[in-house]
Amino acid sequence: MTIDLEALYVDLHRHPELSFQETRTAGVVARHLAELGIEFEEGIGRTGIAAVVRNGEGPVVWLRADMDGLPVRELTGLEYASTARGTDPAGNDVPVMHACGHDLHVTALLGALERLASATDTWSGTVVAVFQPAEEHGAGARAMIADGVLDRFPRPDIVLGQHVTPLPAGTIGVRSGTQMAASDALTVTLLGRGGHGSRPHATIDPVVMAAATVMRLQTIVSREVDPRDVAVVTVGSIHAGLKHNIIPAEARLELSLRYPDDAARERVLAKVERVVRAEAAASGADEPPVIDVDHTLPPTINDVHATARLTLAFDRAFGEGTVVDPGMFTGSEDVSWFAREAGVPLVFWFWGGVDPAVYAAALAADRIASDIPTNHSPYFAPVLHPTIERGVDALVVAAREFLA
Amino acid sequence: MTIDLEALYVDLHRHPELSFQETRTAGVVARHLAELGIEFEEGIGRTGIAAVVRNGEGPVVWLRADMDGLPVRELTGLEYASTARGTDPAGNDVPVMHACGHDLHVTALLGALERLASATDTWSGTVVAVFQPAEEHGAGARAMIADGVLDRFPRPDIVLGQHVTPLPAGTIGVRSGTQMAASDALTVTLLGRGGHGSRPHATIDPVVMAAATVMRLQTIVSREVDPRDVAVVTVGSIHAGLKHNIIPAEARLELSLRYPDDAARERVLAKVERVVRAEAAASGADEPPVIDVDHTLPPTINDVHATARLTLAFDRAFGEGTVVDPGMFTGSEDVSWFAREAGVPLVFWFWGGVDPAVYAAALAADRIASDIPTNHSPYFAPVLHPTIERGVDALVVAAREFLA
Amino acid sequence: MTIDLEALYVDLHRHPELSFQETRTAGVVARHLAELGIEFEEGIGRTGIAAVVRNGEGPVVWLRADMDGLPVRELTGLEYASTARGTDPAGNDVPVMHACGHDLHVTALLGALERLASATDTWSGTVVAVFQPAEEHGAGARAMIADGVLDRFPRPDIVLGQHVTPLPAGTIGVRSGTQMAASDALTVTLLGRGGHGSRPHATIDPVVMAAATVMRLQTIVSREVDPRDVAVVTVGSIHAGLKHNIIPAEARLELSLRYPDDAARERVLAKVERVVRAEAAASGADEPPVIDVDHTLPPTINDVHATARLTLAFDRAFGEGTVVDPGMFTGSEDVSWFAREAGVPLVFWFWGGVDPAVYAAALAADRIASDIPTNHSPYFAPVLHPTIERGVDALVVAAREFLA
Amino acid sequence: MTIDLEALYVDLHRHPELSFQETRTAGVVARHLAELGIEFEEGIGRTGIAAVVRNGEGPVVWLRADMDGLPVRELTGLEYASTARGTDPAGNDVPVMHACGHDLHVTALLGALERLASATDTWSGTVVAVFQPAEEHGAGARAMIADGVLDRFPRPDIVLGQHVTPLPAGTIGVRSGTQMAASDALTVTLLGRGGHGSRPHATIDPVVMAAATVMRLQTIVSREVDPRDVAVVTVGSIHAGLKHNIIPAEARLELSLRYPDDAARERVLAKVERVVRAEAAASGADEPPVIDVDHTLPPTINDVHATARLTLAFDRAFGEGTVVDPGMFTGSEDVSWFAREAGVPLVFWFWGGVDPAVYAAALAADRIASDIPTNHSPYFAPVLHPTIERGVDALVVAAREFLA
């Protein structure tokens, strides 16, 4: 192995970058690709990179890793913890951390590329590696597509991707069907009428309107969705008013919605709109609320046949029992845009990053939820080994399964 | 009259200043006092001024005017509309407007002082004029008291004050008993547990906690206060969360409470605390919410005997029918600190600033609430005449009633 | 005095009758009227009685007492406590108690009639005594009017009435303007869609719809009515569903609304309708809710001039300090139908029935609300003396004030 | 076939009986068992019957059918629709309908018994047929166990049962793991303080307390349960108050809770209790609410190995594609008490009763939920063929799979 993967990972972890600002990260990737002699292009979709290893006839397999960090202040206490800062879209100076593990994704994909490029006698076909920016904004995949990545590189026959997750290191989690939820981000502006806090009758109180709306939105999941279906209606932010004694004119809610497929999306969106409008009417609002869909992420749906093949391939490579069904995740991803756009199958799997002994102890104590830091936590800290190795191996095994 | 009161008012209106920043205003007042040859001190309670006219034996009558403007962008379209800006306590650059009419209060008090000072043959006793800062923050009266105003000037036998209000110009509104409500400003911090928006079960959602709290707080007024009593529980601001898909760890509510007296205050505060704590418990919060009382304003209670004397005096001076019972106002004032601290009676009255024809038309159309801009509105614009004159006259009549 | 008023009261108290079933009570009244030689008619408005004492030229004064008891099981422990039972409108056998003091009203009116009839040399004019049924149903006054009482007897120049209340015995409470609230009784039927409790998504849950409606209705009083105005929105009953695991198709709410005048009535009714409809819409109801106004009671508004005359007359008769301002009562009465229909003034006052020492002790301990049983309580038990005497005297004084 | 199964079904459908009142039904079963010469006992668990076919060495297979109807007025319009009436536990005369298809269950089990009893050369072992009362009350299985059915008959090696459901006729639905939810029925009594509707401040309003509780209970499912888990919190009934203007002292909620296993049960029950207690505290209740668990149904968990064997057996017997995964049902059953008590595996499957063409049309129009009447609907009407035959065959195939 030419690349010291542990050193690479530690370096990336120390230097996280916010979405669409992954210039140093892309530079590190480019330097390694150049050293490996692999063909690549930079600056696709602003800060993305794609690389290609052409090895004769055969299927085209795309391997995707995302590169961006998060505006989180790292609290892991690790020797290599991030102290980086960045400028968020609102112009604020914020701490930055690889709290979602994309540093591991980049590390594993570079490792897998080296392995595949150095063993071209064992496979034929084409491997395209996509180092994607801005997954956290749900915008990077579409930016790369808009920038022509599907035309500038061999079009995929299959798209593969992976994500490190709080499963025991060594374990792979994958299921056919919906693996990650579709999601929408909505901003709802409730329009009331402001006035002095001592004279509520002269106002249309948007704080009460907002509170009633939040309470009513709960009933969509509790009453209107089949209890066996997955749906999430989160109000992630609520903002109204400047001070105690002034009733403001507006309230703003930011919602995050999750569902397993496009049909459920339509149903839930319609319900949210119905509730929001009716609650404004209940308040006697003069104007209906404004509902903006800020961004939409598609469901990450694993192809049933490709998933079955991959499951068996992982079993053969890593032993039976390595693959578990992680259930559907209610989090969302933008990787599937590549497969949707190309009209080809996708498989997206999870691989574990938690010390198995720690995991087992937490499980025994029924403290998984409280004791194992999840992605986006300031305490998120995958163990380096065997996490790095399993990430590399999984990509190599998966790529070979679909190459000739 | 030495002072051109209209010019003075227009000048003050063009140059409003935020609470405790009334340096230009105080300078204008000082210049006029000096020109009138009236004894005064500046810088009492940071930017306050007190002046005294000593005229032999007799009662000491305090006349109080407040001086500060509000962080409101003026929309009156008046030729003399304010374009001033100021720096609010949070350091933000904000527009400033005399949206509460304190410019009129200062104008009327200076006019009254000149009248009283130039007619010392018609009364005896002592008049103290208090130009108070920071009424809008509920802090100026206490700041002047803390700075010794009650000791540095003759202690009052009675405290008198007035406020311009959306009654027809010419009309005076006053009642005995509670004229303006007591109020408290509370900040409630609800403590949940943050997490990813797709995994609500791993969080204690403070947005839902806040919404449920707001809805439950409504029941204090609707169910727990005697329908015949005045009580207001306003949630003037609600803030939680940064973005759609992150459930925050906390929510912050700012409440403004109003009641007619100290006993009601205790009852309502206890109810608010009960509701806030129980709703946190309903959410399974690990920690109880934090409730801070940011500031407290006492009730403005007019002395029954002094109010009766004043009512008759106004009737004699302005004709029967001039005085109306405006009802209790749910807004609050800090003028009563002077009288409470000195242990003397207070009378605080309202005087009208709306063109009587406009008022009558709005009344006939049942559009008072919608058509007549109230104090704190960006459209608040008292007519100059006879508002200025009535404000001066009212102070003079009132002062003389209680002087010898 | 011919009539033994204490014996009469005890007899009536022992034999309460439900609304429109006051046949025994009416019989007792009729027997006494006959013994006194006073002209009367029975059966007016089903079980009502009116009597007339004609005494030459002069005003016609109507004195009204209501006669019905309540479906309450008496718990006073009094020697003369009621053990009576009756059949309520739904056909149920229920306990009956004079829990509102109408037995005292009848007693006092008979006593006053005897006094007036035996002293015709001290006044001239006409006294009409109305013994009204079914005040508790808000239906008796209209029933008597529909039955022609205003035509069959001399039309009033003024209508007077009184109600025993938990003030100290001896005290009279009266105010000009709204003395008792207007009220409406509404039944709201919320239409959902039923189904099995395990499949909420296949239903439109009327229990949640009802709960959201109840919570939202609170905001009418807490946010939409001027805090200085009196308004009550009570949901007195809520009913939906038969068992745990069946989601019902409907929910039914019964509301009692209170307001000081007809304008407020219109405003609040419109708000209630707005909230109820919007909450059904928020639930996605297929059909709008059904709102029925079951009955309406007008405000009891005391004529300002007549009240002033009466206040002075009571002061003269009973000493200054006898009359207090009881504030507006949020309970309602149907007495004003007589005055409204005739287009004449009304005065309706309260007189105290609590042992003054007991009252003073409760007041000192701030335990009035908890320790003094109010009207409709199963513990309601006016002291006999001086309550009976003061009730008689008040009617006589009041009648004479308005007679010649 | 001796028994005319269609005639038997039609007869049972015409004569449904309520829970624990299945005497006619049991009589019909007994008559057929007697005609078939099968050993049986009546009156087990009040109205239950068990029958046994002994056929040499081999496993003991229990086949269970439930017998009771529901208090539903049949609206199917079928020629053989029920017009029966019964007396419910509260003593009310109510219409009765086989709205859950238990008539089919009895028919199929008698048919299967005859088939097995007439083909004893094709299997060996013991078949026990359990005709259980009162499944709808969740009480019949335990009643039969309490009455010794597990001791009076050969103890099972496996328990099998089936339920007709709105799948296409011919289809069988079964899954390993939780097939039907565990459930609890709770009654919550909220204790307030009653009073007159015009004086809410003198009461602790249980209607508002109940409404707030219902709204807050929604957040358990919407926020506190993993969106991927199944949980239902239904408030099936809410009752408080007698009339518009009396605020009652109590409110009563009846809840139906659903979860996949015993651990989830404990978690959700704790959350419900937390919310209910906190909402009472938010209302300032003097006494905590009373929470009664009225009955508990265990989860119906299909043994993973037995379900796999059965799935393959059905595939062989009826063709591949016959068996579908119906998902977990949120409804509950008491059949698993037999297997839990005996400590043996259970398989409980569904079989379709809807005309396949009707089903396909509804599916195409996305109108399954609206157009296909489900169990407990007054329109529930399985097609007779091939539903009866498939029900018999399924039992015979299943029994033989586990017999020698």
Q: In the predicted model, what is the mean pLDDT of chain D?
A: 95
Query: What is the full per-residue pLDDT of chain A (404 aa) written as tens digits?
Result: 689 999 999 999 999 999 999 999 999 999 999 999 999 999 999 999 999 999 999 999 999 999 999 999 999 999 999 999 999 998 999 999 999 999 999 999 999 999 999 999 999 999 999 999 999 999 999 999 999 999 999 999 999 999 999 999 999 999 988 999 999 999 999 999 998 899 999 999 999 999 999 999 999 999 999 999 999 999 999 999 988 988 999 999 999 999 999 999 999 999 999 999 999 999 999 999 999 999 899 999 999 889 989 999 999 999 988 999 888 999 999 999 999 999 999 999 999 999 999 999 999 998 887 889 988 889 999 999 999 999 999 999 999 999 98
pLDDT of residue B242: 87
Count structural domains, chain B: 2
Which of B201, B223, B281 lies nearest to residue D278, judging by beta carbons?
B281
Longest dimension (CA), chain B: 80
Count of other CB atoms within 10 angstroms of residue C22: 30
CB contact under 8 A, A208 and C199: no
First to last CA, chain C: 24
- The whole-number average pLDDT for the span B88-107 is 95
- The whole-number average pLDDT for the span D166-194 is 95
pLDDT(B1) > 80: no
pLDDT of residue B201: 95
- The whole-number average pLDDT for the span D167-176 is 94
ipTM of model over 0.90: no
pLDDT(B195) > 90: no
Is the same domain home to D289 and D303? no
The residue with tokens 């009729």 is: C30
Which of B212, B242, B332 lies nearest to residue A215, judging by beta carbons?
B212
Three-class SS of residue D200?
helix
- The whole-number average pLDDT for the span C26-47 is 97
CB contact under 8 A, C219 and A283: yes
C259–chain B nearest CA distance, Å: 10
Question: Chains near C, with 3+ CB pairs < 8 A?
Answer: A, B, D
CB contact under 8 A, D212 and B216: yes
Is the same domain home to A99 and A240? no
Domain final residue pick, C296, C318, C353 = C296
pLDDT tens digits, one per residue of D375-389: 888 999 999 999 999
Is the same domain home to D369 and D340? yes
pLDDT tens digits, one per residue of B101-138: 999 999 999 999 999 999 999 999 999 999 999 999 99
Interface residues on C facing A, Cβ-Cβ cutoff 8 A: 198-201, 203, 205, 208, 212, 215-216, 219, 222-227, 271, 274-275, 277-279, 281-284
pLDDT tens digits, one per residue of D202-236: 999 999 999 999 999 999 999 999 999 999 999 99
Distance of alpha carbon D279 from alpha carbon C19, whole angstroms: 38
CB contact under 8 A, D227 and B198: yes
Residue of chain D whose Cα is closest to the Cα of B224: D201
- The whole-number average pLDDT for the span C107-123 is 97
D364–chain C nearest CA distance, Å: 18
Distances (CA, A) of C33 to C41, C59, C390: 10, 22, 21
Domain that holds residue C397: 5-180+299-402
Is the same domain home to B303 and B288? no
CB contact under 8 A, B331 and A196: yes
Residue of chain D whose Cα is closest to the Cα of A330: D227
pLDDT of residue B225: 97
Structure tokens at C347: 């005065």
CB contact under 8 A, B201 and D224: yes
pLDDT of residue A45: 97
Is the same domain home to D136 and D169? yes
CB contact under 8 A, C282 and A275: yes
D131–chain C nearest CA distance, Å: 24
CB contact under 8 A, B235 and A208: yes
Tell me the binding residues of B for Mn(2+).
100, 102, 136, 163
Is the same domain home to C344 and C218? no
pLDDT of residue A176: 87
Which of A198, A213, A369 lies nearest to residue B202, judging by beta carbons?
A369
Residue of chain D whose Cα is closest to the Cα of A234: D223
pLDDT of residue B176: 87
- Supply φ then ψ for residue B331, to 5 degrees: -70, 170
Question: Chains near A, with 3+ CB pairs < 8 A?
Answer: B, C, D
pLDDT(D319) > 80: yes
CB contact under 8 A, C279 and A282: yes
Contacts with C230 from chain B: Cβ below 8 Å: 227-228
Where residue D331 falls (left for φ over 0; alpha for ψ -120 to 50; beta otherwise) is beta
pLDDT(D113) > 80: yes
pLDDT of residue D135: 96
Q: In the predicted model, what is the mean pLDDT of chain C?
A: 95
Query: CB–CB of B140/B134 below 8 Å?
Result: yes
**Could you please report the per-residue DSSP string of C7-55?**
HHHHHHHHS---TT-THHHHHHHHHHHHHHT-EEEEEETTTEEEEEEEE
CA nearest to A42, candidates A29, A61, A32: A29
CB contact under 8 A, A198 and B247: no
Distances (CA, A) of D174 to B3, D304, D310, D311, D352: 95, 11, 9, 8, 11
Tell me the binding residues of D for Mn(2+).
100, 102, 136, 163
CB contact under 8 A, D238 and C234: no
CB contact under 8 A, C216 and A281: no
Which of D215, D223, D274 lies nearest to residue B200, judging by beta carbons?
D223
Helices and strands in chain A, H and E counts: 12, 18
The confidence band for C2, taking pLDDT boundaries of 50, 70 and 90, is confident
Contacts with B232 from chain C: Cβ below 8 Å: 227
pLDDT of residue A400: 97
Which residues face D395 on adjacent strands? none
Chosen from A198, A221, A225 to mutate, greatest number of chain B CBs within 10 A: A198
CB contact under 8 A, C244 and D186: yes
Which of A196, A197, A214 lies nearest to residue B211, judging by beta carbons?
A214
Contacts with A219 from chain D: Cβ below 8 Å: 218, 222
pLDDT of residue D90: 86
Quote the pTM value.
0.89
CB contact under 8 A, B248 and A240: no
User: C278: domain CATH number?
Assistant: 3.30.70.360
Which residues face B255 on adjacent strands? B186, B235
- The whole-number average pLDDT for the span D330-335 is 93
Is the same domain home to C268 and C315? no
User: D315: domain CATH number?
Assistant: 3.40.630.10
| B·D CB contacts under 8 A | 73
The confidence band for B295, taking pLDDT boundaries of 50, 70 and 90, is confident
pLDDT of residue C242: 87
Structure tokens at B401: 């009633």
CB contact under 8 A, D282 and B275: yes
pLDDT of residue C284: 97
Chosen from C218, C224, C330 to mutate, greatest number of chain B CBs within 10 A: C218
| A·C CB contacts under 8 A | 73
- The whole-number average pLDDT for the span C86-112 is 96
- The whole-number average pLDDT for the span D147-168 is 97
CA nearest to D63, candidates D137, D156, D185: D156
Is the same domain home to B159 and B250? no
Cα dihedral D363, D369, D375, D377 sign: negative
Is the same domain home to B208 and B306? no
Distance of alpha carbon C198 from alpha carbon D232, whole angstroms: 7
pLDDT(C224) > 80: yes
C232–chain B nearest CA distance, Å: 7
Is the same domain home to D208 and D103? no
Domain final residue pick, B264, B296, B328 = B296
Domain final residue pick, D242, D276, D296 = D296
Is the same domain home to A173 and A275? no
Residue of chain D whose Cα is closest to the Cα of B276: D282
CB contact under 8 A, B187 and A244: yes
Count of other CB atoms within 10 angstroms of residue A375: 20
In single-letter form, the type of residue at position D76 comes to: T
- The whole-number average pLDDT for the span D6-13 is 98
Q: In the predicted model, what is the mean pLDDT of chain B?
A: 95
C104–chain B nearest CA distance, Å: 27
Is the same domain home to D163 and D114? yes
Contacts with C218 from chain B: Cβ below 8 Å: 215, 218-219, 222-223
Structure tokens at C162: 């009184």
C228–chain B nearest CA distance, Å: 5
Which of B215, B251, B331 lies nearest to residue A198, judging by beta carbons?
B331
| C·D CB contacts under 8 A | 175
The confidence band for C90, taking pLDDT boundaries of 50, 70 and 90, is confident
CB contact under 8 A, D271 and B284: yes
CB contact under 8 A, C227 and A201: yes
pLDDT of residue C272: 98
- A323-324 and A172-173 beta bridge pairing: parallel
Tell me the binding residues of C.
100, 102, 136, 163
Which of D183, D246, D331 lies nearest to residue C236, judging by beta carbons?
D246
pLDDT tens digits, one per residue of D56-95: 999 999 999 999 999 999 999 999 999 999 999 889 999 9
pLDDT of residue D243: 84
